[in-house]
Amino acid sequence: MRVTLLGTGDTTGTPTVGCDCDTCTAARDRGVERTRFSVHVENERVDESLLIDFSPDFRYQFLRDDVSLPDAAVITHVHFDHLDGLGNVFRVLDSLEVYAADETDPQTGKSVAETVDDDYHYLDPLTVVPTTPLEPVSVCGLEVTLVPVDHPPLVCYGLRVEDPVTGAALSITGDTSYDIPEASREVLADPDLLLADGIVPADLCEYHPIGGRHEDDAGVPRTFGTKHMTREGALAMAEVLNADRTRLVHLAHYYPADEAFAEPLAVDGEEYVL
């Protein structure tokens, strides 16, 4: 499978609109960017593509990276930066299956699948497929398994995408704290490529109103606030999951400029063949 990182930024992206911080300036100078989150997975065996999350930057990303339009999609959760590009399919795609979790979110009273169905009821090409977490489904010739992660107050899911023919595996943590349930870690384990949420370096937790959580033995927070892993948390999770290769994603412009483009922090347009 061919994996293209269409969007590697957090909800404001880098550069952020109206921002002239050192990191946004450095991104402009280098000609790199981190648009809102989305990952394109092409199964070359069957010539079909799966899109993970619908970034508000969908149109720009597909023009920029010249990838094939999706045959199916997964929505991990209902935050703006992962869902609100879905309206772009209007007059672009004739049909699209959208896989989303079927568990009711106590916060909204609806599952992710139901929210997608309700919010985009007017989009005729869509067929929402309610999907049970931890049970693999076959999509685009690939085996896709949603796994519950921890992104309060909403339900949110990571996923594993595995090619049943070659055994190649991509794991994505989704937006999550370090507190990924054990059953989910088991599904995400041993990937060829891990994309892990590492929104900021751990030392920025001092600027979060509630600080950091899930400290390691040295007292370094692996979670920023409640919703996302720190860089250190994401790297620790990569160790736990025994990933062959790791790229950090969902990155904020709050990374200091001299750390923001260091390995293994991803930028848009990276491509991996697994």
Contact positions vs Zn ion (CB under 5 A): 16, 19, 21, 24, 79, 81, 175, 253
Shorter beta-carbon distance to Zn ion: residue 43 or 151:
151
Q: Is 206 helix (H, G, I), strand (E, B) or coil?
A: helix
Name the residue with tokens 């100078």.
29
Contact by Cβ (8 Å): 265, 27? no
Name the residue with tokens 């007292």.
219
- Closest to 52 in 3D by CA, of 98, 84, 87: 98
- Closest contact distance (angstroms) between CB of 37 and Zn ion is 5
Shorter beta-carbon distance to Zn ion: residue 140 or 249:
249
- Closest contact distance (angstroms) between CB of 25 and Zn ion is 8
- Closest contact distance (angstroms) between CB of 257 and Zn ion is 9
Rounded Cα distance between 231 and 249, Å, is 10
Shorter beta-carbon distance to Zn ion: residue 12 or 68:
12
Rounded Cα distance between 81 and 36, Å, is 6
Q: Residue 73: which region, alpha, beta or left (left: phi > 0; alpha: psi -120 to 50)?
A: beta
- Closest contact distance (angstroms) between CB of 216 and Zn ion is 23
Shorter beta-carbon distance to Zn ion: residue 89 or 149:
149
